[in-house]
Structure 1
Amino acid sequence: MARNREKEDVESRFNPPVSISMADSSISLLKLISILIIFVVGVVIGLVSSSHIDRYFTFQGDEFNFKNTYFDTEQFSHDGQKMVVNCDGEDCLSMESFVRLRNLNHRLRDDELFWRASFVPQKEELPFRRVPRVAFMFLTRGPLPMLPLWERFFSGQDVEKYSIYVHALPGFDLEVSNSSVFYRRQIPIAACRMGSVSLVDAEKRLLANALLDFSNERFVLLSESCIPVHDFPTVYKYLIESIHSFVDSYDDPTRYGRGRYSRRMKPDIKLADWRKGSQWFEMHRALAVKIVADTKYYTLFKKYCKPSCYPDEHYIPTYIRKFHGALNANRSITYVDWSQMGPHPATFTAGNITEGFLESLRNNGTRCSYNSGKTSICYLFARKFDPSALEPLLNITAQVMGF
């Protein structure tokens, strides 16, 4: 009996009960699963932490690069209150770059340009010194044969009172010396064709570029054959003090006026709204912004006023008549001779240039409306002048026109 009991004790040590063995196995499995879970969670936490660290250092690197790109960190004051910006880029946000575009050779598309040019500040107080300017905008096919005369017109005048913009055909570069007031005043251009809406595009492109300078108050459209018939002080005073714009806009009952109207423009533009006028306008800043910002009526002209319609003779006169007639003197300040009754105005050559002829342009005996009264000065400019007229003009302008 004693041997049998001893034998059972030995067997029990080496052969434990089945239930105890299964319990131990379950505990081991749970430990293994727990270890695996902890490992997986640790890996996930490690990956997430690594990602945040990378992003943190990337952000810090970007911030560092931003400071180095736009600021000279050595120019921060020790008290941290004053910061001097050292910006060489054209897109640096500064008051000077916002109120006046330094480089006309920008990369803005027309839609981007017109959008930016349509900005109108709502705050009356100005954070910069503003001298009202007259923007002289030249729409030309190529060279400016009257450029020496214009150089003389601007010579010695306050450069804060005028600005110059030139729109030519693609491929043409206006080559002048760096001392010329026309130096680097050519704007980005696109092809334009006589009788098409592309001429309106060119006009709006000139207006938009000039509007980027917040000091420009008046906007004159000129051709390569235009000349000034008064000196700069007279022109400047006349335009800056005017309460109206000078856009030709009249009802022409002939086939050259109403005959160009398309009924497909209804109901937005009716025949009663349709107007005609000279392409060579002058306008106030408020009106220029309206023209550049317009899309609806421009689109109608682009769609229905085809080449025989001549959009450049109808779009602006019609738009102003329909919406802003009270802002317009309804006359042109650029003299043109249509007495020959042809499709084009008379061209003045060297033989036409006399003191009497120029005096007749300066004061033609009529009186024109100006603000709330009348004036004997009806025209500030005249066209069309042949290149041969340049030399005799230069010889007598000092005596007649004072420049």
Structure 2
Amino acid sequence: MNTIFLPLPILFFLCAMTMKSSNDQQGITLSNLKFFNSQLYFINFFGHILLFGSGLLIGITLTFFLKNFSFNFQIQHFQDQSFTLNPPSTISLSPPIPSHDHHKNQTEIPIKQDCLVINNTTSNISWNELEDFLKVPSAMHNMNEDELFWRASMFPMIGKPPFKQTPKVAFMFLTKGAVLLAPLWEKFFKGNEGLFSIYIHPNPSFNEMVYDQSSVFYDRRIPSKEVVWGENSMIEAERRLLANALLDFSNQRFVLLSESCIPLFNFSTIYNYLMNSKQTFVEANDIEGNVGRGRYRKTMKPLIQLSQWRKGSQWFQIDRFLALQVISDESYFPVFKEYCNPPCYSDEHYLPTMVSIKFWEMNSNRTLTWVDWSKGGAHPSRFIRPQVTWEFLEMLRFGSTCEYNGEMTNICHLFARKFTTNALDRLLRFAPKLMQFN
């Protein structure tokens, strides 16, 4: 083997270069290692952040889903509850009943909120919410007057109902006791079921057992209070009758009658006359003297001026819109109640004055109930048996002229008063032929 000898300077140079190369490689390795460690650190850091964010997002999504599911479940459960109008009442909310018996786990939350009942039902029971809402409470109920008037004042803003509705006439009898001429009215109503409703406001002490269960007057008494002639209790009774009649959404016309009133035509004639009328029938006259303007009280200013004071018969025939205005009136009624006391007889002035001020365009300014005031005095004439003749009844039916829906007619009165019970036999004899009952 040949040996190569290098000069010493070159040997030193090569050793230095070798050492430098070795150091450079070690430096590069350490630098790369530090860089790799830093990258690994950041990757781990962002990995934890990504993992935490994913968990948080999943948690939020699950929470929202469970809340939404719970809300939908509660809505569905609420819709499955039975809804009835049968005051007074409480709201009872209970969880659904499972297949096994867990009645002890049911909860009831009593809330004093009248006119609304939500009863527990199983989910497989179907019901119609609208029909239940339209269900009419019985004539005799347990609502107090605040509850009654609040419930009766409800009305839909949309005029056309989304269901078939047969309009009815509400016949409201303001009586001391029984409807004296009930047998005549029985013949009048016979065969017209579904087209009328009856409400009776007697003295609270009246025993209604006088009506047979087959009578149209049976079980038609409303919660009543004592009424004193000439006092504000008369208006209160009228408003009470209207409020009870308004509970039935089918009642579209409202007729106030006394126990001594009679019909002058058959049911179909009266029904069509009322339903087809474009106006209401409240008598409202401006009368000078003691029985008119003389009853006005200056303390009624500024709400009611003397020039606005009106007098008329209390026996009215009005539509649903005006009935709602009467029972919702919180302006004129309190003034009359405070300032119109005998010899100011509010039943002859309250409705004529209020209607004349606020609703005169829709009113005919006449009543459909014929009354004889020709003899003067505080009360109209009474008619006994000898006075009830065919000719007399025909005169009541066609003996005057008036305007109806813009045209003249000789049918101006549909009812008449005051007839006594001893005139009943003649009325029963004439009515079926003359008035064409049945």
Fold match, TM over 0.5? yes
What does 1:357-372 align with in structure 2 at a 5 Å threshold? Answer: 357-364=392-399, 366-372=400-406
Mapped to 1, the partners of 2:232 and 2:131 lie a distance apart of 34
Contact preservation (8 Å) 2:226, 2:233: yes
Aligned to 2:411: 377
Aligned to 1:17: none
Superposition deviation, residue 308 in structure 1: 1.4
Aligned to 1:152: 187
Mapped to 2, the partners of 1:314 and 1:97 lie a distance apart of 39
Mapped to 1, the partners of 2:236 and 2:164 lie a distance apart of 32
Mapped to 2, the partners of 1:154 and 1:389 lie a distance apart of 19
Contact preservation (8 Å) 2:176, 2:203: yes
Superposition deviation, residue 71 in structure 1: 3.9
Look up the SS of the partner of 1:283 in the other structure: strand
When the two chains are superposed, the root-mean-square deviation of aligned CA atoms in Å is 2.0
Contact preservation (8 Å) 1:136, 1:164: yes
Look up the SS of the partner of 2:343 in the other structure: helix
Aligned to 1:401: 435
Mapped to 2, the partners of 1:390 and 1:65 lie a distance apart of 59
Residue 332 of structure 2 is aligned to residue 290 of structure 1: no
Look up the SS of the partner of 1:359 in the other structure: helix
Aligned to 1:392: 426
Per-residue deviation, residues 73-122 of structure 1 (Å, max 9, x unmatched): 2xx34xxxxx424xxxxxxx943343242412111222221121111101
Aligned to 1:70: 119
Look up the SS of the partner of 2:197 in the other structure: strand
**TM-score, normalised to structure 2's length?**
0.72
Q: 1:257 to 1:63 in 2, by over 3 A?
A: farther
Superposition deviation, residue 59 in structure 1: 7.8
Look up the SS of the partner of 2:255 in the other structure: strand
Superposition deviation, residue 66 in structure 1: 5.8
Contact preservation (8 Å) 1:99, 1:215: no
Per-residue deviation, residues 336-359 of structure 1 (Å, max 9, x unmatched): 011112221111100011111110
Gaps of 5+ in 2: 1-92, 96-102, 110-117
Aligned to 2:78: none
- The amino acid across from 1:186 in the alignment is R
Per-residue deviation, residues 28-71 of structure 1 (Å, max 9, x unmatched): xxxxxxxxxxxxxxxxxxxxxxxxxxxxxx9867983569x824
Residue 189 of structure 2 is aligned to residue 140 of structure 1: no
- Aligned-residue sequence identity (percent) comes to 47
Look up the SS of the partner of 1:374 in the other structure: strand
- The amino acid across from 1:275 in the alignment is R
Mapped to 2, the partners of 1:134 and 1:181 lie a distance apart of 14
Q: 1:115 to 1:234 in 2, by over 3 A?
A: same
Superposition deviation, residue 266 in structure 1: 0.4
Aligned to 1:244: 279
**TM-score, normalised to structure 1's length?**
0.78
169-178 or 204-213: which moved more?
169-178
What does 1:1-400 align with in structure 2 at a 5 Å threshold? Answer: 64=106, 70-73=119-122, 76-77=123-124, 83-85=125-127, 94-157=129-192, 159-175=193-209, 176-364=211-399, 366-400=400-434
Q: 1:71 to 1:181 in 2, by over 3 A?
A: same
Contact preservation (8 Å) 1:132, 1:161: yes
Mapped to 2, the partners of 1:117 and 1:132 lie a distance apart of 17
Q: 1:227 to 1:63 in 2, by over 3 A?
A: farther
Aligned to 1:55: none
Contact preservation (8 Å) 1:144, 1:224: yes
Mapped to 2, the partners of 1:155 and 1:172 lie a distance apart of 25
- The amino acid across from 1:208 in the alignment is A
- The amino acid across from 2:375 in the alignment is Q
Mapped to 1, the partners of 2:250 and 2:393 lie a distance apart of 32
Mapped to 2, the partners of 1:142 and 1:349 lie a distance apart of 19
Contact preservation (8 Å) 2:94, 2:120: no
Q: 1:59 to 1:401 in 2, by over 3 A?
A: closer
- The amino acid across from 1:189 in the alignment is S
Contact preservation (8 Å) 2:287, 2:310: yes
Mapped to 1, the partners of 2:190 and 2:203 lie a distance apart of 27
Aligned to 2:98: none
Aligned to 1:5: none
- The amino acid across from 2:152 in the alignment is A
Mapped to 2, the partners of 1:302 and 1:218 lie a distance apart of 26
Per-residue deviation, residues 138-167 of structure 1 (Å, max 9, x unmatched): 00001211000000000111x221100000
- The amino acid across from 1:269 in the alignment is I
- The amino acid across from 1:247 in the alignment is V
Mapped to 2, the partners of 1:297 and 1:214 lie a distance apart of 25
Contact preservation (8 Å) 2:94, 2:108: no
